[in-house]
Amino acid sequence: NAIESGSVCWEAPSNIALVKYWGKKENQIPANPSLSFTLKNCKTTTTLNYVKVSENATLSEEIEFDVIFEGVKKESFKPKIATFFKRILPFCSYLKAFRFEVVSENSFPHSSGIASSASGMSALALCVMSLEKSLFPKIEDDFFYKKASFLARLGSGSACRSIKGDLVVWGEHKEIPLSSDAYGIQYPFKIADVFKDFQDTILLVDKGKKQVSSTVGHNLMHGHPFAAARFQQAHDHLSALIPIFKNGDLAAFIKIVEREALTLHAMMMSSDPYFLLVKPNTLAIIHKIWEKREESNIPVCFTLDAGANVHMLYPSKNKEEILEFVKNELVVYCENGHYICDEIGEGSKKL
By the criterion CB under 6 A, which residues form the site for ligand PMV? 17, 20-22, 34, 117, 156-158, 214, 218, 264, 305-306
CB 276 within 8 Å of CB 268: yes
**Shorter beta-carbon distance to ligand PMV: residue 49 or 158:** 158
The span from the CA of 331 to the CA of 194, in Å, is: 26
**Shorter beta-carbon distance to ligand PMV: residue 22 or 302:** 22
Q: From the CB of 243, what's the least distance to ligand PMV, in Å? A: 22
Q: Compute CA distances 33 → 42, 117, 155, whole Å.
A: 23, 19, 18
**Shorter beta-carbon distance to ligand PMV: residue 20 or 146:** 20
Q: How crowded is residue 37: how many other Cβ atoms within 10 Å of its Cβ?
A: 29
- What does the DSSP assignment read for 45-63? EEEEEEEEPPTTSPPPSS-
**Shorter beta-carbon distance to ligand PMV: residue 45 or 158:** 158
**Shorter beta-carbon distance to ligand PMV: residue 92 or 261:** 261
Q: From the CB of 34, what's the least distance to ligand PMV, in Å? A: 4
Q: From the CB of 318, what's the least distance to ligand PMV, in Å? A: 25
* 316: DSSP letter: G
CB 159 within 8 Å of CB 83: no
Q: From the CB of 113, what's the least distance to ligand PMV, in Å? A: 12
**Shorter beta-carbon distance to ligand PMV: residue 131 or 168:** 168
Q: How crowded is residue 158: how many other Cβ atoms within 10 Å of its Cβ?
A: 29
Q: From the CB of 53, what's the least distance to ligand PMV, in Å? A: 32
Output 248-255 pairs: Cβ under 8 A, ≥24 positions apart.
248/192, 248/193, 248/194, 248/195, 250/194, 250/299, 250/315, 251/299, 253/299, 253/301, 254/293, 254/299, 254/301
Q: From the CB of 264, what's the least distance to ligand PMV, in Å? A: 6
Q: From the CB of 130, what's the least distance to ligand PMV, in Å? A: 23
The span from the CA of 301 to the CA of 313, in Å, is: 5
Give which of 32, 23, 37, 6 is closest to 257, Cα–Cα.
37
**Shorter beta-carbon distance to ligand PMV: residue 73 or 110:** 110
